[in-house]
Amino acid sequence: MSRIVLKAILGFVMRVLYRPKVEGMERIPETGPVILAGNHVTFIDSLFLGLVVKRPVYFIGKDEYVTGKGLKGRLMAWFFTSTGMIPVDRDGGHGGVAALMTGRRVLEEGKVFGIYPEGTRSPDGRLYRGRTGIARLTLMTGAPVVPFAMIGTDKVQPGGKGVPRIAPVTIRFGEALDFSRYDGMDRDRYVLRAVTDEVMSDVMELSGQEYVDMYATKARAA
């Protein structure tokens, strides 16, 4: 119920203020498990995606967003969980495995799982090399991958911080990708890289971003 109420309120505000342009919504299957994989340019990407997609979209998020104390902490926890965030401790030694298993569980329940293959927000607006977790998920579950691109959200919230500004936003979805030809090969690192690169190639075409064959975390550290 909280998800429905929040989506109705924020959806109305978003339509009035931003009037986002959505392209290719019909490419998202109406039933069954599906992975939405796209670029990540600012903090509110997940919010925009969850509000425009008709089906509930679930994401992995830092558990620190829901562990705050006091009234503010409870409000933040309600907000993030209502928008589809599943808290996971990603900083621990097994954070990556926990995130992967959580995504697998969501997909095996026939739901929509949103993921940013870059693993973090782009430090400079370019598209960076994808991590192979996306490939493991689609090969383990058989769920199709629908690539998407967030365009303009970096102008709404530059740097991922501060009060959102008013700017045009476009969310563009590509054709669903089926990787059933690699069934049973989810441990082959060459297959995992090929699948990941195919997804990122489609994201690049949809977003129009310059591609950098480097992990975003390395670029951010540099």
Share of the chain above pLDDT 90, in %: 60
Hey, where are the domains in the chain? 20-54+95-220
Q: pLDDT per residue over 66-123, tens digit each?
A: 667 787 677 777 667 766 778 787 665 566 788 899 999 999 999 999 999 999 999 9
The highest-confidence range among 12-26, 44-58, 108-122, by mean pLDDT, is 108-122
Q: Which has more pLDDT, 63 or 56?
A: 56
Predicted model pTM: 0.90
Kind of pairing between the strands at 145-151 and 170-173: antiparallel
Edge to edge, the sheet with strand 85-88 lists: 21-23, 170-173, 145-151, 34-38, 112-115, 57-62, 85-88
pLDDT of residue 92: 56
- Rounded CA gap, 44 and 161, in Å? 9
CB 136 within 8 A of CB 222: no
Residue range 195-215, pLDDT digits in tens: 999 999 999 999 999 999 999
Write out pLDDT tens, residues 146-185.
Answer: 999 999 999 998 876 777 888 899 999 999 999 999 999 9
